[in-house]
Every structure is written in C-alpha cells, then in structure tokens.
C-alpha cells in the first residue's frame, strides 16, 4: 500500500551477555531519579559481566534542549558510570540517537500495517476533539481512541483501500496507530513487581508514528531494545503502565521470544514520604535535585548540582544505591566495586524510597574522613585559590587533618577553618560571657610571656607543656582555661585539637592573638 518503504538495513546484536541501557531524553538536566536508574543498570551489567549502553531518546524534537546531551555525558562521567556503547564512543548498534534511526522505526511500523497489526489514522485534531466530547457526553470514563471508538473514525480500518491510498498519495496528514485486540489479557512477570496482568480493554490504540514521521517512545524503545540485544529493561515505576503495551508490540513484531526481562524501580519520594520527589521539593527543603549544576538555556534559571554543593561522587553513589535496594546486611558503606559485587534485582523493594538528604550528608562526611591527606589538601587549595590566599602544602595538609572529622563538605575546610589564615575579628559572645574573666586574662598573659621566651622548635607538644607549667604555677587545672584560650585563638568555643591549631599558625601568631584578645575583650571585675 505504501510504495516508499525506507531502505535501511540493520544488524541485530545476538549475544549471551547481559546488555542493559540507560535511555534518557535530552529535555533538560538529568533528575537524580534518572541517575539512580542509570546506577542500577550499571551495577546489574557489571555484576554479570555485561554491557552498559547509553541511548538518547530524542524522538520528541519539540522538547529538545541544547546542552542536555553533554550534561548527561558529564553527569555519568563525574559519577564514574562509564558506558560501553553510546553516543560518545559509538558501538556495533550505532547510531545511538533515536532521531538518527527514523528509517528503522518507519520500516517496522509499515510492516505492522501490512500485517494488519497497525493502521493509518487520518483524523484531524478537530475530529479527535469531537470524538472525545461525544464520549464524555455518553458518560465514558476514559474517552480514548481504542478498539471500540476506532470504528467511528477516519482510518485504514473504516475507509476503503482506494480512499486510503488516495489520501496517502495526496499527502494528507496521518499517524500510525497500534491495532490493539479486544478483551485479551496481557501478562508480564516483572522482576520487582512479579506478575502484572492488564486486559486490552484498558489499552488504547497508541500512536506509533507521529504526523511528523517521528516514532513515539513506545515503538522506538521496543525496536531499539530488540535490535541492540537488550536483555533487561531496568527503568522507573512510571513506565509500568506502558509495559503491557510494549509486550503487545514485541508479540506483534514477532520478537516475543527475545523480549527483555523488565524491572520497574520504586519511586524516589519527597522527604516527607508523601508523593514523588520533584524539583519544587528540593527547593523547598534546600538540597540539589540534579547531579551537576544546570542553567536553563531558555529561562536562564540556575540550579545548583550535587557536585557544586560539595558532594563527593562516591558518597552520592553509595547514598543512591540504598534508595530502593537493600544489601541484606548491616553494611552501609560500599565502594562502587563492592556495590557491583553485592547488587541484585531481587533485593530492590516495591515501596517508594524517601529522599533523606541528611543521610546523603552523613555519607559525604564518612567519605571525607576516608580521603587521603593529599586529596583533602587539594580541596583546600582549590578553595584558597578562589579566595586568593596562599598556603604551603605542609600547612594545607595539617589543616586538612585537623578538620577532616568536623566537616560535611570539602569547602568547609576553609569556611570552618578561616582562623588558620587570619586572627578572629569577632568572638563568640556566649563564651566571652561565660569564660572570659580576670583569671583567664591573667593566665593567658603569663602564657604569652612564657611562649615568647620558649626555646627550641615550636610544636603542639611544646605549646601543651608550656601551658601546663603556667597552670601549675597558678595551681589551676587545664579545664579552667582551655575554652578561653580557644576563644582567643579562633573566636569560638569549639573546634579541632587546640594545640594542633597552635602548631599550624605558629608561635608568633599565637602570641599576637592572645594579646589581641586580651586588649579587645572586656569582662566584669569581681568586687
């Protein structure tokens, strides 16, 4: 019936290997839920020695956003989820952009038409609206184009073969719809949900090829998964209602025996647990929703990403892995290699997972504690460079070691340790009121004098011994003076090892800060 069948040959990938795909649409920044989907696909592939493929599903060209593809590639690279095939490196199934595979989809859609499993529909938007209004007036709950309403519409089922050919020849707009059978159960055993059964009375005649010649998601992803040899489709729960339709497509295309296994992942929920996590929820609770920062090219709206907020990629991976998957043990900290070894689809839960950003912060803290000194120092040097502050490698390493147990994000090596680089101009008023008194001023004055006359190399041990001597001479214990001493040196009443701080800033700076505080801070003298 259709004379201009596309000339496109493609080789089907035949393999016994596990092959999975992550198939985002380039419609903007990649949501953190998409990253979790990519992660689970990656872990499953690597666990079974398989392939992890990146495919770009850009059939809806009206929603294409410039820069989105690069964003997807950058996000996966930052997280270490390296692809085996895809738009970056190519592969045996190229091209990996659906917009470049239109002829493939058209060929399969026209085959379905020839086999009476799909049909041309010529209905105008006005006629479709009229159909829906008629159904609404008749109290039809779900007014759709299906195996009942198709018989009152303009399509290649109701029109004569001659009229259909005439319409095609003169270029009338058309779409291709799937010819869904009447009252037939479609069964699917999902690896997470177990058996799903849907009657075709609840499936409408979905469009397979749109009027612009582009395929819909339903046709394109089924065709591509088959031709790319995908063995397992691991995707979000939102696609579960479409799965029976995809099963029908596999059957109609003659590929039912090679149909991949499906696993539909639970939703990521709001921090409150009621409803799907959204960008609005992230803004409300003050945390990122995207892996990397993103500036919308249309609106100019900027969204900070997890990377720029200071999250380590390995911490984010660990956190996301446990949002919906349970290792079956008490272990919480997993390297990527350990996640690969432990991962199994059987331990993915059915229930949605609450997005607890405090847990994400906890993971970040733990991974910072495990960082080698050189990497922590590199974080600090980066921050200092942005502040135009010079610092020796030795000093940066010492500061990093002192603060590693007290920070959540790398930037805090500077923001929580500014006193390493400058004497405080402000002092914690509560500590001043509580600990700054005549006794403190007297002891710290003696301590400054003792440090001035101290011989030998100034170290944390020397600073500690000298203070002990001053306290012994005045019959006082260390606890009576430590907070006042910390206040004078850092401006606050808490922090890392005090004598370690003194070692870093040096004797002259310690003496300078003691005298500055003594001259600047006041207290009420006892009568």
Catalytic (active-site) positions: 279
- What is the four-CA torsion angle of 488, 490, 491, 497, rounded to 10 degrees? -90
Whole-angstrom Cα Rg for the chain: 33
Would you state the structure tokens that stand for residue 485, as one six-digit string?
């001493």
CA neighbor of 434 nearest in space, from 498, 482, 489: 482
Q: Are 211 and 174 in contact (CB under 8 A)?
A: yes
Distance CA 346, CA 17 (A): 19
28, 444, 506 from 514: Cα distances, Å: 54, 7, 12
Which residues have a Cβ under 8 Å from the Cβ of 338 and sit 6 or more positions away?
A: none
- What is the four-CA torsion angle of 354, 359, 363, 365, rounded to 10 degrees? 160
Q: Are 411 and 376 in contact (CB under 8 A)?
A: no
Distance CA 57, CA 142 (A): 28
Within 10 Å of residue 168's Cβ, how many Cβ atoms? 17
49, 94, 368 from 90: Cα distances, Å: 19, 6, 36
Distance CA 185, CA 197 (A): 6
Write the DSSP symbol of residue 177: E
Distance CA 332, CA 363 (A): 9
Give 237-260 as a DSSP string: GGGGGGHHHHHHHHHHTT-GGGPP
181, 210, 323 from 332: Cα distances, Å: 48, 47, 12
CA neighbor of 281 nearest in space, from 271, 290, 273: 271
Q: What are phi and psi of 445, to 5 degrees?
A: -65, -45
């Amino acid at each position: 019936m259709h004379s201009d069948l596309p000339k496109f040959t493609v080789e089907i990938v035949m393999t016994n290997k596990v092959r999975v795909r992550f198939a985002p649409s380039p419609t903007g920044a990649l949501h953190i839920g998409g990253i979790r989907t990519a992660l689970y696909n990656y872990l499953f592939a690597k666990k079974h020695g398989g392939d992890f493929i990146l495919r770009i599903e850009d059939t809806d060209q009206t929603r294409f956003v410039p820069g989105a593809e690069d964003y997807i590639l950058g996000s996966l690279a930052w997280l270490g989820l390296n692809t085996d095939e895809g738009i970056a490196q190519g592969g045996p199934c190229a091209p990996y952009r659906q917009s470049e595979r239109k002829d493939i989809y058209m060929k399969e859609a026209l085959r379905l038409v020839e086999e009476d499993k799909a049909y041309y529909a010529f209905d105008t938007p006005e006629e479709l609206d009229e159909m829906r209004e008629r159904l609404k007036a008749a109290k039809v709950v779900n007014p759709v184009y299906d195996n009942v309403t198709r018989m009152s519409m303009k399509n290649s089922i109701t029109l004569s073969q001659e009229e259909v050919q005439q319409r095609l020849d003169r270029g009338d707009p058309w779409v291709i719809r799937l010819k869904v059978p009447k009252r037939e159960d479609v069964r699917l055993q999902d690896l997470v949900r177990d058996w799903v059964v849907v009657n075709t009375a609840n499936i409408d005649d979905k469009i397979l090829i749109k009027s612009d010649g582009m395929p819909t998601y339903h046709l394109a992803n089924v065709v591509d998964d088959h031709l790319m040899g995908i063995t397992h489709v691991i995707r979000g729960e939102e696609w579960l209602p479409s799965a029976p339709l995809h099963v029908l497509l596999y059957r109609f295309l003659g590929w039912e025996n090679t149909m991949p296994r499906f696993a539909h992942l639970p939703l990521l929920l709001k921090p409150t647990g009621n409803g799907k996590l959204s960008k609005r929820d992230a803004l409300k609770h003050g945390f990122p929703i995207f892996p990397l920062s993103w500036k919308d090219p249309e609106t100019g709206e900027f969204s900070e990403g997890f990377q720029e907020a200071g999250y380590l990629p390995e911490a984010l991976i660990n956190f996301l892995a446990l949002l919906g998957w349970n290792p079956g043990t008490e272990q919480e900290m997993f390297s990527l290699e350990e996640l690969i070894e432990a991962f199994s689809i059987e331990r993915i839960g059915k229930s949605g997972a609450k997005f607890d950003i405090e847990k994400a912060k906890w993971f970040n803290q733990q991974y910072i504690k495990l960082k080698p000194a050189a990497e922590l120092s590199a974080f600090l040097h980066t921050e200092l460079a942005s502040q135009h502050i010079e610092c020796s490698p030795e000093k940066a390493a010492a500061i990093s070691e002192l603060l590693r147990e007290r920070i959540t994000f790398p930037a805090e090596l500077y923001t929580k340790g500014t006193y390493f680089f400058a004497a405080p101009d402000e002092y914690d008023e509560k500590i001043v009121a509580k600990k700054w008194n005549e006794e403190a001023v007297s002891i710290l004055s003696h301590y400054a004098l003792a440090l001035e006359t101290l011989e030998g190399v100034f170290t944390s041990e020397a600073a500690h011994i000298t203070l002990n001597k001053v306290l012994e001479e005045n019959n006082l214990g260390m606890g009576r003076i430590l907070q006042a001493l910390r206040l004078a040196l850092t401006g606050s009443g808490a922090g890392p090892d005090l004598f370690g701080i003194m070692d870093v800033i040096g004797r002259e700076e310690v003496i300078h800060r003691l005298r500055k505080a003594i001259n600047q801070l006041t207290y009420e003298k006892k009568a």
